[in-house]
Chains A and B, each alone.
Chain A
Amino acid sequence: MGVRPSPYGHTMTNRTFVLACLTPLFIFSLAFLALPLVRLFLESGSGEAGWAIYLDILRRPRYLNTLVLTVLVSLATTFAALAISTTAGMFLSRNRFRGRGTLLSVLTLPLAFPGVVIGFLIILLGGRQGLVNQLTPGHVVFAYSVIGLFLGYLYFSIPRVLLTVMAAAEKLDPALEEAARTMGASPYRVVVDVIVPGLMPALIASGAIAFATAMGAFGTAFTLATNIDVIPMVIYTEFTLSANIAMASALSIVLGIVTWALLLIARSLSGSTVAAGG
């Protein structure tokens, strides 16, 4: 029947082929992810303080205050984004009207904006030449304050939380609400007893995403937070200006572990991948 052997037929079994497929990924992530991260960790302990540097983060007011401020801004961002995006998300997924698609596009457009661009947009709103300062001649400049930073993070988080909430809202079985109604539940009870519990995994997940991205946001902070100490800015200045490489590394490790752990929780709850960077 003249079957010519294919070039791989003799030598390659399926198992070796599959392993060969994984080899480039393995080599790449070993060389450019695993080894650099190990180096980063070793570097964090190589300063004067040794491994006690991790205690220094909590002992020295400069770092502790930075940590507290970053957590507070991130928490504020998280709750604001959850409130706004859940409201808008439920509204958009439960109502069909003209212009709905446009609103949805506007609300998801910033997904592709890097943090620097968002920082610039906040400057256009609240900078010295910004909209608010032009409209109210009271010299209201908030872009470079904590409020500006908060608004920048919020701008970044609204589309991401919105998409997660809407995906969960679409999956809510309308029959559950109807069942609750047939048993005499008021609209308010339906929200409390059916809708919120149904959305809870998505709310926790997107909240964790918003918090983690705010903690690690560099681009927005780079544009706006020239005078505010948030962790990413402190890492940057320790590394570039103070050449305190050990501290920059230690802060990076702490920040990385916090955001990674949060996103792990988020993903186990929602099962989706959302870009944290930008």
Chain B
Amino acid sequence: MFKSKTKLLQLIVTLSACAFLLIPTIMSVMAGLTANYFKGISSGLTLKWVFQVWELYADSIFLSLWLAIACLIVTLIVGLPAAYGLARHPGWLSRLLEEFISLPLAVPGLAIALALLQLYGSMKGFRASWAFILVGHVLYTLPFMVRSILAVLAAIDLKTLEEGAASLGASPWQRFRDIVVPNAMPGILAGALTVVTLSIGEFNITWMLHTPYLKTLPVGLADSYASMRLEVASAYTLVFFILIVPLLMAMQWASARAQRKTK
């Protein structure tokens, strides 16, 4: 029958896709834990490569974590009030601004990085500091923060809630603090996890902006792929997975939760 034959075909395609995505991931994890990749698993399991990665790249890992936190702080400071402003002043100007800050989602990071380098490359102090990489990360993650919060704010009757608070004597700032922020929380949480996840994994902009003294985790990864033995590169990838997979899962959970709130 048409149905069961189709189902079988669909199942085969689904399983093949899973295999395609999963097998190299598992290989990478195994390679990072195997004493000698060429001899295979029989050469024994070891954490030697992971420790070696830690010695070589601990700085990169910490720089990435630090950047992610700094990026989160900046996107919150800039993005939270902005999302509120955009929600309260819907109109073509707000649409345009939202569209404009979303450009880094669509335009390849390479182009954004080139633009930044050409305008600020000659400001040596700024160019050589971690703040320069931070700017790139904020550019790329800010639209996620703004849109995540905006989606939640658009789903509640923000204007009437604020009028309610105003009629009880709350000033604009008190309204923002007591009504807007608490009710936007699911969106803020989802946005925050997205920002951290994306910042830790960002490569395209960072590769162009980084200096030899400031290598983030993904920059270090590219470095290890090019110059280290396969086991070290794999162990480093494993460290990245351990960091990013729980974040991804938390991000998906938080986004689904925020979306339920908007219904």
Contacts and interface: CB of A to CB of B under 8 A. Distances in A.
A20 B85 CA distance: 8
9 contacts: A29-B97, A36-B116, A112-B248, A114-B202, A187-B3, A216-B109, A252-B108, A256-B106, A256-B107
Given A36-B118, A40-B115, A260-B103, A21 B85 contact: yes
B60 interface: no
B105 interface: yes
A212 B6 CA distance: 31
Given A18-B85, A260-B106, 17 more contacts: A7-B171, A21-B84, A21-B85, A21-B88, A22-B82, A25-B146, A28-B78, A32-B138, A90-B10, A113-B244, A121-B24, A124-B31, A125-B23, A125-B24, A219-B222, A259-B107, A277-B108
Interface string A234-253: 01100100000100110011
Contacts of B245: 109, 112
Interface stretch (A9-17, A58-66, A171-179, A197-205): A9-17
B115 A39 contact: yes
Contact of B104 (A33, A87, A155, A252): A33
Contact of A25 (B6, B9, B82): B82
Contact of A40 (B111, B203, B225, B233): B111
Interface in A76-133: 84-85, 87-88, 90-92, 95, 103, 106-117, 119-125, 129, 131
Interface residues of B, number: 94
Interface string B74-90: 00011101101110110
A96 to B, nearest CB: 13
Given A32-B135, A107-B18, A124-B24, A252 B110 contact: yes
B101 A25 contact: yes
A36 B120 contact: yes
Contact of B25 (A109, A232, A276): A109
Given A219-B203, A222-B222, A25 B248 contact: no
A132 B252 CA distance: 33
B38 interface: yes
**Max count, chain A CB within 10 A of own CB: residue among B11, B84, B112, B204:** B204
Given A22-B82, A117-B240, A119-B225, A222 B109 contact: no
Contact of B144 (A120, A223, A248, A275): A275
B135 A253 contact: no
A95 B15 CA distance: 14
Interface in B64-81: 77-79, 81
A72 interface: no
B118 A17 contact: no
Contact of B10 (A6, A35, A87, A113): A87
Interface of A: 3, 6-9, 12-14, 17-22, 24-26, 28-29, 32-37, 39-40, 43, 84-85, 87-88, 90-92, 95, 103, 106-117, 119-125, 129, 131, 151, 154-155, 158-159, 186-188, 212, 215-219, 222-223, 232, 235-236, 239, 245, 248-249, 252-253, 255-256, 259-260, 262-264, 273, 275-278
A256 B111 contact: yes
Given A87-B13, A116-B218, A187-B2, A252 B201 contact: no
B53 interface: no
Contacts of B86: 22
Contacts of B34: none
A106 B21 contact: yes
A218 B205 CA distance: 9
Contacts of B252: 108
Q: Provide the main secondary structure of the chain B interface.
A: helix
A264 B106 contact: yes
B147 A273 contact: yes
Interface of B: 2-3, 6-7, 9-11, 13-18, 20-25, 27-28, 31, 37-38, 77-79, 81-82, 84-86, 88-89, 97, 100-112, 114-116, 118-120, 135, 138-140, 142-144, 146-147, 166, 169-174, 176, 197-198, 201-205, 207, 218, 221-222, 225, 230, 233-234, 237, 240, 244-245, 247-248, 251-252
Contacts of B138: 28, 32
B13 A91 contact: yes
Contacts of B21: 106-107, 109-110, 155, 158-159
A129 B37 contact: yes
A7 B142 CA distance: 30
Contacts of B244: 112-113
A91 B7 contact: yes
A136 to B, nearest CB: 15
**Max count, chain A CB within 10 A of own CB: residue among B10, B89, B101, B108:** B108
Contact of A275 (B23, B78, B198): B198
Nearest to A236: B110
